[in-house]
Amino acid sequence: MYKPKLSHAVVTAFLEKWSGGSVRNLEYVDFGFVSTIYSFETYSKESGRSEKLIAKFSAHENAGGQEKNQFVHELTKGSNLTVAEIREVGEVELPVSNPTPYDTENFSSDSYPLTYSFIRWIDGEHFPDLQFKPAAPWVPIAIETVEQISDIDISSTSGWGWFGPEGIGKFKSWQEHLLNSCFDKSKSRLYAQHRDRFEDGFLELETHEYFSGKLRDLVEKLPDVRRCLVHTDFGWDNVLVNDGAVEAVIDWDNAVFGDELYDLVRIGVYAPAIDLKSVVRERWEVENRDLEHFDLRWDACAVHMIVDVLDWYGWSENPASYAWMKARGLELLGEGPPVTEPVPGSSYVL
């Protein structure tokens, strides 16, 4: 289950039980693909006044992301970066209205295991969508924020790639993390659970295998890089701004330890109107940041992201975005025409 559906009454009852009193202004927040989110106000015994919080609910299989947000909040204390404060993370069983066939076989829809967290509300608007030329003035701000993320001290952590709330990366190297995303039909959960989408739907087996082959070729040449904190989903919906400045970076569920270029590459892949690769190179030459093997590292990050996102669009059944990402990937490899339109379903319009 990607996004548990909860009724307003169920959420209200849970929050009132948690707070020990009434809750006000409960509103569903239409945000994200994995968690169900509500904003609400409750009385804070600590401050003696009303407090606005976010309640976030995830299916049990996605619980690690919520605990990771709490870890990243602690990790970034003392840095110039603001990360939303996690007040509490816990588990609860609540009725949901959208169980999958697997969920129905293993759990009761009236008592489905969820992980919840309460997060301090932060005022701000979503970061402008850099897919569009009017957002270009925000490019230097985006780069500076990613650099701040990269420069956070992670010496208390270890490993590479995806990490849990203990701060231990799953892999021994960045290369191993990248290769782990390569498509293998015999091991792919996407292929096993949605084979019909490959055989009769919009997914193309040869496309997944092609980009995975390109990724393997790039990783084979890839040198070791500086180990940094990487958000992996930096952009419009996960960055809050106020008065022309970044207020906070939120939702660190998919963060990894890896190459500091990765978040910048992600912005560049989704922003075909901006030659972000050249912009970053010129800036880093002035700042004397690490430009060693820049092109190879950029390309490896880009193809890895394409492999991952094609998989995600398969899971979320998004054929239009799948086709867009395939075309964008071929363009970046020099094997397809320029992509001039933004990804379908973008949050901003010209």
Q: What is the pLDDT averaged over residues 93-97?
A: 92
Residue 113: C-alpha distances to residues 60, 247, 330 (Å): 6, 33, 41
Helices (H), the chain: 8-19, 63-75, 101-106, 139-150, 174-179, 189-193, 195-199, 205-221, 262-270, 276-287, 294-315, 319-332
The fold of the 126-332 domain, in CATH, is: Aminoglycoside 3'-phosphotransferase; Chain: A, domain 2 (3.90.1200)
pLDDT tens sequence across 268-293: 999 898 899 999 999 999 999 999 99
Cα Dmax for the chain: 62
- 135's CB contacts (< 8 A; 6+ apart) are 128, 129, 348
pLDDT at 46: 63
Query: Nearest-CA neighbor of 238 among 230, 256, 229, 250?
Result: 250
- pLDDT tens for 21-78 read 889 999 999 877 788 999 999 976 666 678 899 999 998 777 777 888 889 999 998 8
User: pTM here?
Assistant: 0.89
Q: CA-to-CA distance for 247 and 127, rounded, in angstroms?
A: 10
User: How far is the C-alpha of 317 from the C-alpha of 145, rounded, in Å?
Assistant: 32
CA-CA-CA-CA torsion sign (70, 71, 74, 76) = negative
153, two tokens: 């001290």
Q: Give the integer Cα–Cα distance in Å for 129 and 106.
A: 40
- The domain locations on the chain are 8-121, 126-332
Distance of CA 98 to the CA centre of its chain: 23
Q: Give the whole-angstrom CA distance, residue 158 versus residue 224.
A: 15
Confidence of residue 104 (pLDDT cuts 50, 70, 90): confident
Alpha carbon of 67 to those of 73, 102, 341: distances in Å? Answer: 10, 24, 37
pLDDT of residue 49: 76
Q: In the CATH scheme, what architecture does the domain 8-121 have?
A: 2-Layer Sandwich (3.30)
Q: What is the CA radius of gyration of the chain?
A: 21
Whole-number Å distance between alpha carbons of 79 and 342: 34
In the structure, what pLDDT confidence band is assigned to residue 346 with cuts at 50, 70 and 90? low
Contact 105, 324 (CB under 8 A): no
With b for 16 or more beta-carbon neighbours within 10 A and e for fewer, the 72-109 pattern comes to: bbebbeeeebbbbbbeebeeeebbbeebeeebeeebee
